[in-house]
């Protein structure tokens, strides 16, 4: 019974709690709804105020934009009006010009008509005159033209030959005088005293017994020297001497130095030979570099590539017609520098091209091609000046010289090579060169005979007077010179002397 009462009390308490919570929740909901309603009203009021403010600002902005637009439209209307007035003025001026052009066209057409009428009248007069001349002379127009051209040809040829002769004579005298002065000064200042050198090396021996020691047992020593140096040892009946022969002058010098040291040391066997050859190679390479540096310092030239200096040093052991190429290059450089100073060119640049003009000869036994092409390739490889490259290329006439340096190099090279004692030439080659010179001159029409004199420096050409007239002598001499320049190789220059003789022979009986 008690528990039932307890349950009843619990149920009543639960129901009372539920109703209390519900009442409290409804009260809170009512207050929240009031608060929300109040906030909504305030938000509406604020929105209305903002709306009014935005509308006012929008109206102001629209008004300002309308004013600006009207102002811009007004300016554009004024601009358009100005352009319209300008176009109207241009149209008026164009109309006036068009009217004046029409008037001028009419005048031109009228003048053309008058000119055509006068031309027809002139043609008529000309035709009548030609007909009259044909009747008087008995020649047609074509025959008269031929006769006039034929009669004028000899006179024009004579006049041309006379003018060429006078012009060439004056120019030649002036150029020869200046060139003679410049060359004489350069040669006198250079005054080189070296003479032709041999192209083989001879090693002196203390006695003939040394030949056997150099040959060695079964020839092992001489084979070792030849294999290590690439040089042929010629051991003949020449007393107390051995000849070294090789196409490479540097190899020949290495072999010479090594052999001289072996002879001085006295111990000659393959191991010692190899040691001496290696030391000689090092010393020769060092000497080559020092020689190139001395040459550059002697001329006062800067900024030359180290490899070019080494190649220049190799020219010390290279000869051409018995002339040492390095000494020849130094001589050409000095002459180039002197002549450049005389005519107002850069002497340093002239010395540089004079020193480098034959640099290809240092490698012509190793690389295919002429020494000119090899020298041009070396200069291009080591970034030499384009004028220097051109002068190297043109110094033997492989291409036409186009700069003052190229002409100076040609002249200095010819002076150095042609001076007495500078070079020697094989007698067979000398005779062949003279024969070619005479044969070339004899190949021209009208040449009766020719003779090469003064060691090929001059050729005298006897011509047939009935075939070659006085007027044609100068063109013939020029043609022979051109053929000689293009087909023959020769040191210095060749004088072409043409002689024409007329003889009358009668016999008294």
Convert 262-326 into a string of H (helix), E (strand) and C (coil): HHHHCCCCHHHHHHHHHHHHHHHHHHHHHHHHHHHHHHCCCCCCHHHHHHHHHHHHCEECCEEHH
Full 3-state SS string of 335-356: HHHHHHHHHCCCHHHHHHHHHH
Position with higher pLDDT, 223 vs 16: 223
Lookup: tokens for 332: 């050409």
* Domain(s) of CATH 3.30.300.30: residues in the chain: 427-500
- Whether the per-residue pLDDT at 184 is higher than 70: the answer is no
* Domain(s) of CATH 3.30.1370.10: residues in the chain: 195-283
d(CA 348, CA 343): 13
* Nearest in space to 234 (alpha carbons), one of 262, 205, 206, 261: 205
Q: Which residue has the tokens 């040829």?
A: 157
Phi and psi, residue 461, nearest 5°: -115, 120
User: Would you state the pLDDT for residue 3?
Assistant: 67
4 CB neighbour count, 10 Å cutoff? 8
User: Would you state the pLDDT for residue 427?
Assistant: 55
Name the CATH superfamily for 300-424. Hypothetical protein af1432 (1.10.3210.10)
- Where do runs of H (alpha helix) occur along 322-426? 325-343, 347-356, 371-381, 386-394, 404-418
Name which of 22-36, 39-53, 75-89, 120-134 the model is least confident about: 22-36
Instruction: Spell 337-354 as b/e; 16+ CB within 10 A means b.
Output: bbbbeeeebebebbbbbb
Across 140-157, average pLDDT: 69
State the average pLDDT for the chain.
80
Q: What is the pTM of this model?
A: 0.48
Q: Find all residues with CB under 8 Å of 82, minimum gap 6, and list them.
A: none
Contact 338, 186 (CB under 8 A): yes
User: Would you state the pLDDT for residue 504?
Assistant: 64
User: To 5 degrees, how large is the angle CA 81–CA 87–CA 93?
Assistant: 140
Q: How confident is the model at residue 491 (pLDDT cuts 50, 70, 90)?
A: low
User: To 5 degrees, how large is the angle CA 370–CA 375–CA 379?
Assistant: 155
Could you tell me what percentage of the chain is helix, strand and coil, using 3-state DSSP and rounding each to the nearest 5? 70, 5, 20
Residue 459 pairs in a beta bridge with: 452, 496
d(CA 444, CA 468): 11
- Where do runs of H (alpha helix) occur along 191-242? 209-215, 220-229
Name which of 157-166, 175-184, 412-421 the model is least confident about: 175-184
- Whether the per-residue pLDDT at 198 is higher than 70: the answer is no
Contact 401, 391 (CB under 8 A): yes
User: Would you state the pLDDT for residue 370?
Assistant: 78
Q: How confident is the model at residue 161 (pLDDT cuts 50, 70, 90)?
A: confident
Name which of 11-25, 117-131, 287-301, 334-348 the model is least confident about: 11-25
According to CATH, the topology of domain 195-283 is Ribosomal Protein S8; Chain: A, domain 1 (3.30.1370)
Contact 335, 415 (CB under 8 A): yes
User: To 5 degrees, how large is the angle CA 276–CA 279–CA 281?
Assistant: 110
Quick: pLDDT tens for 224-237: 888 888 888 887 77
- Whether the per-residue pLDDT at 168 is higher than 60: the answer is yes
Name the CATH superfamily for 427-500. ANL, C-terminal domain (3.30.300.30)
Quick: pLDDT tens for 96-110: 888 888 888 888 888
């Amino acid at each position: 019974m008690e528990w039932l009462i307890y349950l009843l009390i619990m149920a009543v308490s639960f129901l009372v709690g539920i109703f209390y919570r519900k009442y409290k929740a409804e009260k809170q909901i009512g207050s929240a709804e009031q608060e929300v309603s109040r906030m909504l009203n305030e938000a509406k009021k604020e929105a209305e105020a903002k709306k009014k403010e935005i509308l006012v600002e929008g109206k102001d902005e629209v008004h300002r934009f309308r004013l600006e637009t009207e102002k811009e439209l007004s300016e554009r209307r004024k601009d358009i009006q100005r352009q319209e007035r300008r176009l109207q003025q241009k149209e008026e001026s164009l109309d006036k010009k068009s009217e004046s052009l029409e008037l001028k066209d009419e005048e031109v057409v009228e003048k053309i008509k008058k000119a055509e009428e006068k031309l027809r009248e002139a043609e008529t007069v000309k035709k009548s005159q030609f007909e009259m001349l044909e009747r008087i002379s008995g020649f047609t127009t074509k025959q008269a033209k031929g006769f006039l051209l034929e009669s004028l040809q000899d006179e024009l040829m004579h006049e041309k030959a006379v003018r060429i002769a006078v012009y060439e004579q004056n120019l030649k005298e002036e150029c020869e005088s200046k060139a003679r002065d410049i060359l004489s000064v350069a040669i006198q200042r250079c005054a080189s005293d070296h003479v032709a050198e041999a192209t083989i090396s001879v090693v002196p021996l203390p006695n003939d017994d040394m030949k056997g020691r150099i040959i060695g047992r079964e020839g092992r020593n001489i084979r070792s020297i030849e294999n290590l140096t690439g040089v042929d040892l010629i051991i003949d009946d020449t007393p107390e001497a051995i000849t070294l022969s090789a196409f490479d002058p540097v190899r020949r010098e290495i072999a010479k130095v090594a052999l001289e040291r072996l002879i001085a040391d006295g111990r000659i066997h393959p191991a010692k030979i190899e040691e001496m050859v290696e030391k000689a190679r090092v010393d020769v390479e060092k000497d080559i570099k020092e020689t190139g540096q001395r040459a550059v310092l002697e001329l006062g030239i800067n900024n030359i590539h180290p490899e070019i200096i080494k190649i220049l040093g190799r020219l010390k052991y290279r000869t051409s017609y018995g002339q040492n190429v390095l000494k020849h290059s130094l001589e050409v450089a000095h002459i180039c520098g002197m002549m450049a100073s005389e005519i107002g060119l850069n002497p340093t640049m002239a010395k540089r091209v004079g020193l480098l003009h034959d640099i290809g000869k240092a490698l012509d036994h190793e690389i295919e091609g002429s020494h000119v092409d090899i020298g041009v390739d070396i200069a291009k490889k080591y970034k030499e000046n384009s004028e220097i490259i051109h002068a190297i290329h043109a110094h033997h006439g492989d291409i036409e010289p186009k700069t003052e340096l190229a002409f100076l190099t040609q002249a200095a090279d010819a002076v150095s090579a042609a001076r007495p004692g500078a070079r020697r030439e094989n007698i067979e080659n000398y005779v062949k060169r003279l024969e070619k010179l005479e044969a070339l001159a004899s190949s021209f029409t009208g040449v009766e005979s020719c003779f090469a004199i003064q060691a090929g420096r001059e050729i005298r050409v006897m011509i047939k007077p009935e075939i070659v007239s006085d007027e044609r002598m100068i063109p013939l001499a020029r043609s022979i010179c051109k053929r000689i320049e293009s087909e023959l190789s020769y040191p210095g220059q060749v004088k072409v002397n043409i002689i024409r003789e007329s003889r009358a022979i009668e016999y008294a009986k």
